[in-house]
Chains A and B, each alone.
Chain A
Amino acid sequence: MSNYEFTFNENGPYGAAVRLLSDTDPDGRVVLDIGCGAAPVAEPLRSRGTTYVGVDIDEESVRKLADRGFESHVVDLVQPGLEQVLDKILDGRELAAVLCLDVLEHVPDPREVLEQLTALTNAHPAAELVVSIPNVAHVDLARQLLSGRWDTTDSGLLDRTHLRFFTERTLTELMTSTGWYEAAREDFRLERSDQHRPGHPLFEPKATLGMFVRQIRDGMDPHGEVNQFVRRYHRGAARRPVEVDAEAPFLSVVLRTQGKRPDSLMDVLCCLGAQTDLDFEVVLVVHDSARTRDVRELVDLFEGNLSHRVRVVGCDGGTRSRPANVGLRAAAGEYVVFLDDDDFITANWVENIREGARTAPGKVIRWWAAEQHRTWHDEGALAVHTATGPLTPQYATMFDLPRHLRQNETPFHCFSFPRVLVELGFEFDEALTVCEDWEFLVRAASFCGVHDTEQMTSVYNRWSQRTSSHAVASDEWTVMRSVVHVALDERPLLLPPGSVRDLDRALEQHELAQHRIQALEAEIASVRALLAHTEQVSANAHYALDELRSSTSWKVGAPVRVAGAVARRLRGKRP
C-alpha cells in the first residue's frame, strides 16, 4: 500500500499541476499519470474533460483508483521496456500529457524514465510533460545543514524514500538533456517548509541570523522558498550540457568607456598591454553601442597579444551602473576588477592582484592609488591632456569598513573581487547615478573581508573639466549617498574581526569629543551668563545716569559743574 494519501488542494502543487495542464487544452485526450499513488488529481482532470489513466507499482493504489471509476494499471517505472508498456496502455489513443508528480525523486535513474517518456511521445509530439519535484535547495534545508542536521522524515523535502535530489539547475539540466523544454511553471513556494524550526534564529526571517541566511540564499537564485518545482515541458531535441571553459583567465578587467575619449582610452590600453602578468581578459564595455565599431578599431591598432584578449561589448541607456553590470555579467575570470578609460595603472597592477588573491583567497583585494590632477586641452593644443600636478598618496590608507560607511576611500580601480560574488547576486545598483562602486565595495567587503596589498599600482586622475565626475552636482552626490545608505541598511552587514576594538576606539573618541563639547558649551553658557549680568549692571547704571541727568537738581547744578571743570583745567595748566 502506498504511504502517500495526499489530497487535492487548489493552492498546493497538485492544483498548480492541474492548472498548467489545463492551459494546454487536453480535452478528450489521455492524461497518463505515472506513479499516480493516491491519484489526487484524477477527479479534477476528469472534470476538465480529459481521459485520466493512472499507473503505479502499488497494486492497492491501482485497485482503489479503479474503484473510483478510473482506468488504472500496475506498472513498474524501472522495468525495461517502459515505453512499450505505456504505449500498449495508450492503445492508439491520443496522448495529451504525462504527469510525473512526486515521482522522479523516487526512482534510481530518472534520466532513464524521462528518456522512455521521450521515446513514448515520439508518436505524440504535442504531448506535454508536467513534473512536480521537491527542491533540495530550499533555504530551510540550508539552515538545517548549518545547524548540523539532515534528518529524514516520512514525507516532505527530506522524505526518507527519496533517492535523488534536485535543485533548479540540476532539474533543468536533466530535462533539457532528455529533450524536455520548459513551457510554463507554477512553482509551489513555502516560506516555512516542513523543515522549518519555529523560533530558531537561523530560521526566523526577522532574526538577524535568519535574515542573513536568507540574504545569501536569495542572492544565488530566486528559488530559495520553492518547495516543489511544478513545471510543464514541451518536447524538443535533447541538449547536452555545455562544458565549462577550463581556460578562464585569472582576471577579468571590465573597462568602461563612452567612446568619446580615444586618447585616454589608448593610454589605458597601453597600461594593460604592458602588464607583467598577462593572465587576464578585458571586457571593454562601450556605453553607447553606436561607437562600438570605432572602439574596436582602436583596440585593433594594438599588437595581437593585447587586442586578442579584449572583447568589445556595446551597451545603451541607464546610469554608469549599466555598463558595469554588462561587464560583470560578461566577465569570465576568477577575479574581476574595474577600470575606466581615464585611469592609469602601473605594469604590476595585475601581478599585484594575483599575489593578493594567492595570499588571501576569497577576499576582496585592495591596493592604493596615487592621485594626480590633469586637464583636458582645447582642440588646437599640441597635447590632448596633461598632468598639472604631482602624484600624491591620497589613497594610501588601509581599508576600514566602518569608515567606508561614511565615505568611499577606495577608487574603483583599486579593488578586485572574486567573480563568484555574481552568483551571490552581486550587481551594481542601476538606480544610482554615482557612487555605484561604493555600495558594491561595502557589500563585497562585508561578505569577503578585505586584503590590503599595500602596493601603489593605480593612478587616479582628477580631471579639471569635461568629465562626468565634475559634471555631477554636489546635491546629486548627497542624494545618492542617502540612497546608498538606505540600500545598505536593508540587509545585515558583517563586520570583520578586529572591528569591535576599532569601533570601541571610534566611539570612545566620539564620547570624549562629546564630553569636551559639553564642557565647552557649559563654559560658553557661564561666560554668556556673566556677560548678561554685566550687561544688566551696565544697563542699570546707564538708566540711573539718565535719570540723574534728567532730574531738576542736575539741571540746576549745571553752572556749578561748568565752573568746577574750568577751575580743574586751569589748575592742570600750572607749571
Chain B
Amino acid sequence: MTVPRTLRVAIVLYHNPLAEIWRCVRALNRAAEIAIADTGLESVAIAIGDCSDAPLISDTEVRNLQSSVGEGVSLDYRWFGVNLGHSAGSNALAEDAAEDAVLFLNPDSYVAPTLLRHLLDSLRDPAVAAADARQIPCEHPKHFDPRSGDQSWASGACLLVRTPAFHAVGGFDAEWFPSYVNDVDLSWRIRLRGARVVHQPRAVLFHDKRLDASAQVRTTAIEPYEGILGRLMLATRYGRPDIVTETVDVMRVHGSEEQRRALEEFERRRAADRLPVPVPADGVAEFIAGEYGRRRF
C-alpha cells in the first residue's frame, strides 16, 4: 500500500514540562483527527517514551491524556527508566510498529492541523520513503527541490518514515549517533537504498526554538559538543577523512571549549579504534560548507 493507512507517532521525552507535553498532544491529536476524517488514514497510535530520571507523567495524567484523544487515536506512555537517548528511545518506540509509517516527533512542538494530511500526501509516490515538515518560526535553510521536494536529509524533529524502510535500515544508529545528526545518518542510509527523502513545506511544524539578541537560535549547553562530535563521526562513517581533518583543524583554532572537548573525545575514540566503519556513499553524503547538503541561505 503506497499511502500509509495506519500511523505510529514516536515521541521521546527527556525532562520536558508537562504543559509542553500537553501542547504537543493537543495539536497532534487534532492533526490526527483531521487526517482520519479527510484521508484514508485509519488509525494513529501515539507512543510516548520517557528517558527522564523519573516518570514525567503520572498515571492519572496519562489517563487524562488518553481520554483527550479522538476516535481512531490512541496514546501509550512508558518510562524507560534510563536515558536511552533519542535514537535508542525512538527505536524502542518503533521496533514493534505494525503501522504502515512512523512519525518521529519532538515534544517541544505544535503541529499544524493539516500537518499529517500534507506529510501523508508526500508518500503518495512509492519511491518516497521519508518526508519532513517546514519548521516555524525558524525555518531550516537546507535546500530542497522546489518541485519534487527532494533533499539531502530530513529533520528528525518531525520525520515521517515508512515502517518497512525504517526497519530495513535498522532504524536510527544508536551506537554512533545516539542523539545528534542521527536524522542525517538515517536519511542517507535510506537514500543509499535508492529511496527518496523529501521535504514537504506545506506541512507545518511549530518547533519551539528561542532566539538570542543576535537573532541566532539559542542552543542547549550540550549542542556545541554533540554537533562537532556528530560531524566527525558522520564524516568518518561516510568516508570523508578530509572533512574530519578540516573540522579538527578549524575547531582547534576557532572552536569553543565545548567544541574542543568534542575533538578530544573523538581523538580518544580514534586512538581506541572505536569509530564507525566507512561505507561508500557517493552522491548521497554531502558535506558542504559545514552542512550536510546545500543550503538555500
Contact present for B110 and A348 (CB under 8 Å): no
- Interface positions, chain B 119-168, Cβ under 8 Å from A, are 134, 136-139, 141, 144-149
Contact (A346, B297) CB under 8 Å given A263-B202, A391-B211:
no
A276 to B19, Cβ gap below 8 A?
Answer: yes
Whether B296 pairs with A388 at a CB distance below 8 angstroms is yes
A211 lies within 8 A of chain B by Cβ:
no
Who on chain A is nearest to B111 by CB?
A: A270
Stretch at the interface among B25-33, B78-86, B91-99, B229-237: B25-33
B108: nearest chain-A partner, CB-CB: A347
Cβ proximity bits A387-399 to B, threshold 8 Å, 1 near / 0 not: 1111111101000
Query: Is A368 part of the contact surface with B, judged by Cβ < 8 Å?
Result: yes
Q: Does B215 contact A (CB under 8 A)?
A: yes
A377 interface hit (Cβ, 8 Å): yes
* B139 engages A382 (CB within 8 Å): no
Query: In the complex the two chains form, what is the Cα distance from A382 to B147 in whole Å?
Result: 5
Assess whether B214 is interfacial by the CB under 8 Å rule.
yes
Min CB–CB distance B71 → chain A (angstroms): 15
In the bound complex, do residue A456 and residue B23 qualify as a contact, i.e. CB atoms below 8 Å apart?
no
Known A383-B134, A387-B297; contact A377-B146, beta-carbon cutoff 8 A: yes
Which chain A residues lie closer than 8 Å to B4 at the CB level? Answer: none
Q: Which residue of A lies closest to B149 (CB)?
A: A382
Residues of A within 8 A of B111 (CB): 270
B208 CB within 8 Å of chain A: yes
> How long is the Cα–Cα vector from A389 to B215 in the complex, in angstroms?
12
Quick one: closest A residue to B148, CB to CB?
A382
Check: B210 CB closer than 8 A to any chain A CB.
Answer: yes
Check A386–B201 contact: CB distance below 8 A: yes
The answer to whether A345 and B137 touch across the interface, beta carbons within 8 angstroms, is: yes
Q: Which of A10-18, A299-307, A423-431 contacts B (4 or more CB under 8 A)?
A: A299-307
Residues on A with C-beta less than 8 A from B296 are 386-388
Q: Is A74 an interface residue (CB 8 A)?
A: no
For B147, what are the chain A residues with a Cβ–Cβ distance below 8 Å? 380-382
Indicate whether B209 reaches chain A with its CB closer than 8 angstroms.
yes
Do A274 and B208 form a contact, CB below 8 Å, given A266-B112, A382-B202, A388-B296?
yes
Query: Contact: B297 with A303, CB < 8 Å?
Result: no
Given A263-B202, A383-B134, does the pair A347, B208 have CB atoms closer than 8 Å?
A: yes
Take A305-B26, A384-B201 as given contacts and tell me if A273 and B206 are in contact as well, using a CB distance cutoff of 8 Å.
yes
Q: How far apart are the CA atoms of A345 and B137 in the complex, in Å?
A: 6
* A58 part of interface (Cβ distance < 8 Å): no
A386 to B37 alpha-carbon distance, docked (Å): 29
Contact check, A303 vs B211: say whether CB atoms are below 8 A apart.
Answer: no
- Report how far A451 CA is from B112 CA in the complex, Å: 33
Complex Cα–Cα for A367 and B201 (A): 29
Q: How near does chain B come to A277, taking the closest CB pair, in angstroms?
A: 10
Give A347-388 interface residues, CB cut-off 8 Å to B.
347-348, 368, 370-372, 377, 380-384, 386-388
Is the Cβ of B201 less than 8 Å from the Cβ of A344?
Answer: no
Judge if B34 is at the interface, Cβ distance under 8 Å: yes
Instruction: Tell whether, in the assembled complex, residue B215 and residue A391 are in contact, meaning their CB atoms are under 8 Å apart.
Output: yes
**B113 and A456 within 8 A (CB):** no
* Residues of A close to B202: CB separation below 8 A: 263, 382-384
A392 to B211, CA, bound (A): 10
| Closest Cβ–Cβ distance, residue A156 to chain B (whole Å) | 59
CB neighbours of B209 from chain A (8 A): 346
Is B59's beta carbon under 8 Å from chain A?
no
Q: Is A94 an interface residue (CB 8 A)?
A: no
Q: Are B141 and A270 in contact (CB under 8 A)?
A: no
The answer, yes or no, to whether B212 is at the interface (CB within 8 Å) is yes
- Which residues on the B side are within 8 Å of A263 (C-beta)? 202
Whether A344 touches B211, Cβ cut-off 8 Å, given contacts A382-B148, A386-B201, A390-B297, is: no
The reply on A228 being an interface residue by CB < 8 A is no
Which residues of A are found within 8 Å of B45, using beta-carbon distances?
A: none
- Evaluate whether A270 and B201 lie within 8 angstroms (CB atoms) in the complex, with A368-B213, A383-B146, A456-B212 already known: no
Write out the residue numbers on chain A whose beta carbons fall within 8 Å of the beta carbon of B179.
none
Within 8 A of B (CB), among A442-479: 454, 456-457, 459
Interface: A267 (CB within 8 A): yes
**Chain B positions 257 through 297: 1 when the CB is less than 8 Å from some CB of chain A, otherwise 0:** 00000000000000000000000000000000000000011
CA separation between A456 and B202, bound complex, in Å? 26
* A271 within 8 A of partner (CB): yes
Task: Check B213–A274 contact: CB distance below 8 A.
Answer: no
B114 at the interface (CB under 8 A from A): yes
Nearest-neighbour CB distance to chain A for B27, whole angstroms, equals: 6
Q: With A273-B27, A305-B26 given, can you name 16 additional A-B contacts, CB distance below 8 Å?
A: A266-B113, A266-B114, A270-B206, A274-B208, A301-B34, A346-B137, A346-B208, A347-B110, A368-B213, A371-B215, A386-B201, A390-B141, A393-B214, A396-B213, A456-B212, A459-B137
Task: Report A's interface with B, CB cutoff 8 A.
Answer: 263, 266-267, 270-271, 273-274, 276, 301-303, 305, 344-348, 368, 370-372, 377, 380-384, 386-394, 396, 454, 456-457, 459
> Can you list 12 A-B pairs, Cβ within 8 angstroms, ordered by A?
A270-B112, A274-B109, A301-B30, A303-B113, A346-B210, A377-B146, A381-B147, A383-B202, A389-B297, A391-B215, A393-B214, A456-B211
Interchain residue pairs A-B with the least CB separation, the first 9:
A274-B110, A370-B215, A383-B201, A344-B137, A303-B30, A301-B113, A393-B215, A391-B215, A456-B211
